[in-house]
Chains A and B, each alone.
Chain A
Amino acid sequence: TQLLEQSPQFLSIQEGENLTVYCNSSSVFSSLQWYRQEPGEGPVLLVTVVTGGEVKKLKRLTFQFGDARKDSSLHITAAQPGDTGLYLCADSFQGAQKLVFGQGTRLTINP
């Protein structure tokens, strides 16, 4: 069974600071997805990465996929209160249709 570990579990920082959160897998990712979930809503897909070493940018968010495809990081530059939410990483387990999720990093950006 694949396990995804996210760290830190909770992070609270001031507006304008930078931060990095991590996702590590017990096995090689098939295809890694990052989601953001706001309270009372469903997860919203941010990015999908498939190739080892891949880097993708989405405005102030930078997603990095490890060369060995077992880890990933999400870096946010100049965090804003609107970045507050639960950040989840997920994998298509062994190429199957179901997604396996980490437990998430709960991020709070204080004005």
Chain B
Amino acid sequence: NAGVMQNPRHLVRRRGQEARLRCSPMKGHSHVYWYRQLPEEGLKFMVYLQKENIIDESGMPKERFSAEFPKEGPSILRIQQVVRGDSAAYFCASSPLAGVGNEQFFGPGTRLTVL
């Protein structure tokens, strides 16, 4: 029973390039969440998606960032024209249900370094 999978685990980009991060939720989970973690900090919510729908993107910067969770395939977090401040660990989580007390299971993260 595979857990949440993320790839790549490490990604290096130069300023101005695009970063594409992938997340495959646990089997049977239809809710996906993306979080960002800066060094020595806790995780900050970015976006919550269900299949083919963005439910809550209140934590995602309005520019350069986008997310999708297509009917088939993994969820994608896309960062266009990356800047040094985008360097962080990006975590995806999934859950089978919604509601209070919903338990989210996290992937191992993608560590993005912008040179």
Contacts and interface: CB of A to CB of B under 8 A. Distances in A.
Contacts of A43: 43, 91, 106
Contacts of A30: 100-101
Nearest to B9: A40
A45 interface: yes
A61 interface: no
Contact of B100 (A88, A95, A102, A103): A95
Interface residues of A, number: 26
A96 interface: yes
Given A30-B100, A95-B100, A42 B42 contact: no
Nearest to B45: A98
Interface of A: 4, 30-31, 33, 35, 40-45, 48, 50, 88, 90, 92, 95-104
Given A42-B107, A45-B103, A95-B99, 6 more contacts: A42-B106, A45-B104, A92-B101, A97-B31, A97-B48, A101-B35
